[in-house]
Every structure is written in C-alpha cells, then in structure tokens.
C-alpha cells in the first residue's frame, strides 16, 4: 500500500509541475515588441510584428515617452552630476578608444573605477584595425564593451550594415552612433543620422546611443524634437570641461555618459582631468554618474 500511495503522489506532483511550466507567449498581451526596463538583467525577450520586415518598409519605432520631461537616464547618487563627478567614489569611468590609442591592460586594471571600454568599430566604410582584438581582450578581463560608428557623409545604409556586421549578434555590446560636426561635408548629417538610427532599429530592435558634443546636441534638440526614436536614445555628451552649467536641456535632460577629458584638454605631461593608468593623454575618458552596478544595469540599447 505504501508503494502504491507513493507512486500516486509522485504522478500527481509530476503532472502539476508540467502544467505549471507551460511556456507563455511573451507577445500574447502586448501584441508587439516586449521591452525590459533599464534595471532588468539577463536575456531580453523580444517579439517582432509579423507585418514588419527588413526589406526597406516603414519602421515602427517604440512608443514615445509621453511625459514632456523625460526621466534622467542616469541614477543620481546624491552628488552633483555636472561638477567633477569623476572625483567621487560612487561614480564610474569608461574609456573610448580607437586603433591609434595605446592600452596597457595590466596597468589599467589597477584602476577600480574603470568599468567599460567603448571602441571605434568603424569610420564611414573603414573598419578600425584594433576593434576585434581589443573586443576579445576586454571581454576576457570583464570590462563592459561598446562599439561606436563614426558617421561619414553618404552611403548611410552601407555604413549601418558594416557597423552591424562588426557588432554581430552580441546583446552585451553597447551600440553607439558618433555624430561629429553635422554641418560639415565630411561627417554624417542630421538627416543621415535619422536614416542610420531607423535602419539599426529596424534590423535589431535596439536603439543606438547618440554621441554628440554641445552644439550638435543643441541642433538635435531643434530639429528632432518630434522624432519618435531619438528621444528614447541615451545621450553620450561630449564637453571637455570640469563643470557644466549650461547643458542644453531638450530631448534629453541629462547625460548617460559624459566625455569630459581628451587630448583637447589634456597635456602631453599627463596633466588631465582624469588619468587612467596604462593610457596616454590622447585617451578619451568618460564618467557615469553612478556605481559600476548601476552602469551594468543600464548598459543596453533599450
């Protein structure tokens, strides 16, 4: 009798477990793309509209935040985000490099504030020679990894395809569009930037971070305030100063990353606003106004 009872109980438990583990369709209620919050970790669920495709059709961007004052993308930890935040112990440092920057990885590892590396993957239709090798090294050493494309004028879709081919199917790689002087005939224009951002979103369902200096940020505010995609991108703000009192609030009310140091305001003697061990004065340095844990949670293109 005891054996029969145990068998029945076991069969009941197995049946109940199987029913409770039936996978649910993450798109059943939303009817479209499933998104996760900035603080969500792990694999992201994604669902695509069966009526959309990558054949050049209309891109359907994610819903625009209806709040006229979008929330800050960066956790404020109590300190002033615009007055030398890199000097505080509760902030994090990220470098951005390209093939001509030297890196001594062992020396860099001594800086415990150093959390991530964003490397140039491409400029126009040219591949950065150090991108793939340094991507592997950074991953091995546990650094957050990002890829930025420096946009050139013309061949926008070809540039986007090259960028995506280099980033590959890597959900952990932060994707960035580097916008320089958008009025120059050498660099990507605002209109081309819209095409690039739309195309990357169409292909991946992810929104690249936008890198822009002060004047470009002002221009984006003026020309793209009604664009459905740009207000949902994170801003990587370039301003080579120790403090900022005139941030151009508009599409963004704060920065995700602030590029505050480069060879522009850093002398060859190494007298920089911040020196990352193992790098020279030509290395760009960025601050995140939060802890390494905060940054890891926001290191995505949601």
Residue 165 maps to which CATH number? 3.20.20.80
Residue 270 domain-assigned (yes or no) = yes
Residue 21 has a pLDDT of 39
Q: Which pLDDT value is given to residue 77?
A: 55
Residue 264 lies in a domain: yes
**pTM, whole model, 2 decimals?**
0.77
From the list 172, 152, 301, 300, the residue with the least C-alpha distance to 229 is: 301
In a domain, 122, yes or no: yes
What is the structure's pLDDT at 258? 98
- Identify the pLDDT of residue 60: 53
**Separation CA 232–CA 238 (nearest Å):** 19
Measured CA to CA, the distance from residue 148 to residue 139 in angstroms comes to 16
Q: State how many domains the chain has.
A: 1
Ranges of residues in the chain with a pLDDT under 70 are 1-78
Residue 50 belongs to some domain of the structure: no
Classify residue 51: in a domain, yes or no. Answer: no
166 found inside a domain: yes
pLDDT (0 to 100) of residue 269: 73
Q: Which residues contact 47 (CB under 8 A, 6 or more apart)?
A: 26, 27, 30, 32, 33, 34
Range of the domain at 269: 91-298
């Amino acid at each position: 009798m005891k054996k029969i009872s145990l068998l029945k109980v076991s069969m009941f438990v197995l049946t109940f477990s199987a029913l409770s583990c039936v996978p649910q369709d993450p798109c059943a209620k939303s009817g479209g793309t499933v998104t996760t919050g900035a603080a969500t970790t792990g694999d992201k669920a994604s669902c695509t509209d069966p009526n959309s495709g990558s054949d050049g059709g209309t891109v359907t961007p994610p819903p625009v935040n209806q709040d006229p004052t979008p929330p800050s993308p960066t956790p404020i930890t109590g300190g002033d985000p615009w007055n030398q935040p890199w000097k505080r112990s509760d902030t994090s440092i990220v470098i951005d490099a390209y093939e001509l920057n030297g890196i001594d990885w062992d020396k860099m590892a001594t800086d415990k504030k150093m959390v991530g590396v964003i490397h140039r993957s491409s400029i126009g239709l040219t591949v950065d020679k150090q991108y793939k090798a340094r991507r592997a090294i950074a991953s091995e050493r546990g650094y957050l990894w990002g890829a930025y494309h420096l946009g050139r004028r013309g061949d926008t879709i070809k540039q986007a395809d090259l960028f995506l081919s280099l980033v590959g199917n890597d959900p952990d790689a932060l994707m960035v569009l580097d916008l320089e002087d958008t009025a120059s005939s050498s660099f990507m224009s605002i209109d081309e930037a819209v095409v690039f951002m739309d195309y990357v979103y169409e292909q991946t369902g992810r929104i690249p971070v936008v890198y822009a200096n002060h004047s470009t940020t002002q221009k984006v505010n003026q020309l793209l305030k009604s664009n459905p995609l740009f207000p949902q991108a994170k801003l990587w703000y370039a301003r080579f100063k120790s403090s900022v009192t005139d941030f151009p609030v508009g599409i963004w009310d704060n920065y995700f990353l602030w590029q505050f140091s480069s060879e522009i305001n850093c002398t060859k003697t190494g007298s920089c606003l911040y020196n990352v061990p193992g790098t020279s004065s030509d290395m760009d340095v960025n601050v995140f106004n939060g802890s390494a844990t905060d940054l890891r949670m926001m290191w995505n293109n949601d």
